[in-house]
Amino acid sequence: MSAHLREKLGQHLSAAEEKELKAELAALNEVAQLASWQPDYVQSNPSQERMAEMVLKLERELYRIKRPKQLAKREAYLHVAPPIDLAPFLEEYKTNPHSVRHKLAEQLRDTIQVLINRESTETQSDFTQD
């Protein structure tokens, strides 16, 4: 639909027709944005990160701006895991790349989850010490 409206905008139109098409295009864009919301996104995994994403998206839609101004100080904690040696996977990759990619993705997910759990445990112990 938006392509059709944009195509019409490229034609010779009166100012009123152009204004109406632009309003319709904006309304269509808003509907598309609202349809992209996934209600169980936060409910399925209520993490601080997901809640922050939802707040950011709400701010974008409410204020109609691309990047809302940061309202509070943000901190990032970085944990670097040991590198994964890919040499043992090379021969198998030549014959079955899909399987190797799957194994490596699982290994990366597990490693990242360990780092997240470690950060979560450290953060909780910081709160209990206060």
Residues 42 and 16 in one domain: no
Residues 46 and 95 in one domain: no
Residues 104 and 58 in one domain: no
Residues 98 and 127 in one domain: yes
**What CA–CA distance (Å, rounded) separates 76 from 95?**
40
Per-residue pLDDT for 115 more than 60? yes
Residue-wise pLDDT tens digits, 49-108: 887 787 788 777 777 787 777 777 767 666 778 888 889 999 999 999 999 999 999 999
Residue-wise pLDDT tens digits, 36-45: 667 677 778 7
Which domain-ending residue is among 57, 74, 91? 74
Which domain-ending residue is among 27, 54, 74? 74
Q: What is the pLDDT of residue 127?
A: 52
Question: What are the phi and psi torsion angles at 117 (to 5°)?
Answer: -60, -40
Per-residue pLDDT for 112 more than 70? yes
Cα distances (Å, whole numbers) of residue 128 to 46, 75, 122, 123: 21, 20, 10, 9
**What CA–CA distance (Å, rounded) separates 94 from 100?**
9
Domain that holds residue 69: 38-74
pTM over 0.85: no
Residues 53 and 80 in one domain: no
